[in-house]
Amino acid sequence: MALSSIIPNVLNIDGITSVIKYEGNNNNFVWKHPKEDFNTLSQLIVHENQEALFFKDGQALDLFPAGRYTLSTNNIPILKELINIPTGGKSPFHCEVYFISMTSHMAIRWGTDSQVQYMDPKYNFPLQIGLSGEMILSVNDSRRLVVKVVGTEKNLTQDALVQKFRSILNSKIKPYIANSMQSADYSIFEVDSHMDEFSDNLFNKLTPDFDDYGITLQKFMVTNIAKPVGDTAYEKYKEIHVRQYSDIAEAQLRQKTEVIDAETEAKKTVIESQALATKRQQEGYTYQQERGFDVAEKIAENEASGEFTNMGIGLGMMAGVGGTVGGMVGGMMNETIDSINSSDGAQPADQSVDDFKKKLEKLKMMQEMNMLSDEEFAAAKAELMKDMLK
């Protein structure tokens, strides 16, 4: 771009008197006016968010804030002392004028020129990362910026400032990054959720370094962290990190599922019980009677069921079975008792032992089915052994 396209208008009056102003590109931090020979009647116009700094022989003199000025001995006292400006007429003098933009320069890109090495604080393995982002800068000391950074250059753009600060920024920021990451309470795998915290930490560390050059670091943002994807150690610990949380999530989900299944099964049991109770009510029998039916069925299925009577068991118990089935079973047992009592009881020895075992097993089954109490079981067993020894 031609210099004339970004340089402000310069109005010459009688070849000497000028209007000195800058209305160029806002990307410039500092711009040097091309004219260096001025008259004491020249007009200096400094716009809002600007400052104008006069130089003579490399020395920074008066600094002008926003406003319109007629250059005279009244408003440039320092300049008058150095170059003996006359108090009247159009006497020319020679000096340099720099315009400094005081606006906030936003979206200035930055990035590390190489990877930063540090030890992950959580998993304690070495890492290499790169960082980049944006920052917002503004000028807080025009004199310091021009003297320490601009020097004799004609202008200082955003890109030029970043280029000048690149070596300074990288030499400072790398130790800051390593220190901030290594002292954090989160790992490389969690840093994305702590980006604001990480950015603020770096901002606080870098602010004094920019201030040394008359620059205010208004905002410093880390927007991207280049992680060592593919590195063996990185991938290994990444898997460990992911499993740590996925296993917990899976266990919690399984626990919730088991609770839901248990609640569903419990509700199912309640529904089935209510349905069964309704069925009994409709058919005219109770739960106790139904249990009696089940017992009678098991006894009927067991071979030689009449032998229970030899143990003195259950005539009273069968009375509680109720209904037709109870009467049938009770009658069957009465008939069996009468048959046994009328017999002489003579049996072969082997058959007597087998009968004893079968009767004892049935006796035990009745105890397990809560048809006999422990006392009744003991008495019946004693009676059985007594008959065995006759």
Residue 187, pLDDT > 80, answer: yes
Mean pLDDT of 10-36: 73
3-state secondary structure of 107: strand
Q: Percentage of residues in the chain with pLDDT exceeding 90?
A: 22
Instruction: Identify which has the larger pLDDT, 164 or 206.
Output: 206
What is the band of 6 on the pLDDT scale with cuts at 50, 70, 90?
Answer: very low
Gap between the Cα atoms of 220 and 210, Å rounded: 11
Q: What is the DSSP string of 158-209?
A: HHHHHHHHHHHHHHHHHHHHHHHHHTSSS-TTTGGGGHHHHHHHHHHHHHHH
Stretch among 66-70, 245-249, 265-269, 329-333 having the lowest mean pLDDT? 329-333
Q: Is the pLDDT at 341 greater than 70, yes or no?
A: no
Q: Which two tokens stand for residue 32?
A: 């040097």
The residue-averaged pLDDT of 346-371 equals 73
Mean pLDDT of the chain: 76
What does the pLDDT look like over 120-142, one tens digit per residue? 998 888 999 999 999 999 999 99
Per-residue pLDDT of 88-115, as tens digits, reads 545 567 788 999 999 998 888 888 888 8
Report the phi/psi class of residue 230: left, alpha or beta, with left for phi > 0 and alpha for psi in -120 to 50: left
**What pLDDT does residue 92 have?**
67
Confidence of residue 14 (pLDDT cuts 50, 70, 90): very low
Which band of pLDDT confidence, cut at 50, 70 and 90, is reported for residue 225?
A: very high
Q: Would you state the pLDDT for residue 276? A: 79
Closest to 359 in 3D by CA, of 315, 299, 276: 299
